[in-house]
Amino acid sequence: METKKVNCQIECVNGCILGEECPNQTYVKETANFIENTSLDKMLEMAEIARLKKLTEPPKWVIPDEL
């Protein structure tokens, strides 16, 4: 049986369209466990740490191959 190629970011916005055949099923359990066992305050703290880390990174310059 051929596996169906799906762009999950676009096609699964309203829920997974592949159901049990979804290759990302392993992440569903991990995500549900994280959401269930992590307080909202802790999630907000993690997001703030990531935001501050991003702000303190030096800028990344992209130099085109052709000038």
**Res 4: pLDDT:** 67
DSSP state of 12: T
**Res 19: pLDDT:** 81
Q: pLDDT tens, position by position, for the chain (67 residues)?
A: 455 678 888 888 888 888 888 887 788 888 899 999 999 999 999 999 999 999 999 888 888 887 6
**Res 44: pLDDT:** 97
CB 4 within 8 A of CB 18: yes
**Res 2: pLDDT:** 52
Of 13, 38, 14, 12, nearest to 23 by C-alpha is 12
CB 27 within 8 A of CB 45: no
**Res 1: pLDDT:** 41
Give the start-to-end residue ranges of the domains of the chain.
8-56
